[in-house]
Amino acid sequence: MREESLTAIRAALEPDQRFYEDVVADDLTWQGNIFSAHLLDVALSDGSLGKREIVRHCGGAGVVAVDDEGRVCLVRQYRVAAGRMTVEIPAGKLDASEGAEICAARELAEETGLHAGRLEHLVSDCGSIGFTDEHTEVFLARDLVAGEADPDEGEFISALWIPLDDAVDFVLAGLIKDGKTVAGLLAAKVVLDRC
């Protein structure tokens, strides 16, 4: 069954001209420090034209840090866009020409003071693929060594350690909603259960 499913997924991901949208104009409408907004004119496969509002973003990296007791380190912070407190995995945006693994290690150390003896790629999360190219590469961190956190200026966060199994339950209960965190915690649970 797995081979059949893999074949079906690979076939579904192959280019298909029936669905293709050709960008014929790209109007940069706003440029910020973190992202840019674009209005695209696209030619559709049936010959008609359409418009797409797209956000371009440099991407980011996140870390599911799991200790020897099976606890995961999450960070609490206020997110003004959501208007509430959130619980998330340590994460941040990629600096210019920075690789995702380097970004993940840097963000883990800055936000929690933790250093990973091992970082393994877990999953790629495209948070809202309908309008943005933002993606977050999520890593599993193990063999953790504690140090001093050094968050960015204006970044107010605190670390929270809970069992990974509980974190997964909290995802399923809707208490943890952040996309990269949901994807990372669920992927970490599957990977660690297979070990």
Which is catalytic among the residues 3, 69, 148, 153?
153
Q: Is 153 in the active site?
A: yes
Q: Model pTM? A: 0.93
pLDDT of 57 reads 95
Cβ 42 vs Cβ 23: under 8 Å:
yes
Q: What is the pLDDT of residues 29-85, one digit of tens each?
A: 999 999 999 999 999 999 999 999 999 999 999 999 999 999 999 999 999 999 999
Dist. CA 15–CA 133, nearest whole Å: 18
Whether pLDDT at 151 is above 90: no
- Percentage of the chain modeled with pLDDT above 90: 92
The bridge status of strand 49-57 relative to strand 60-66 is unpaired
Cβ 170 vs Cβ 94: under 8 Å:
no
Q: Which two tokens stand for residue 186?
A: 């669920």
* Total residues found in the chain within this entry: 195
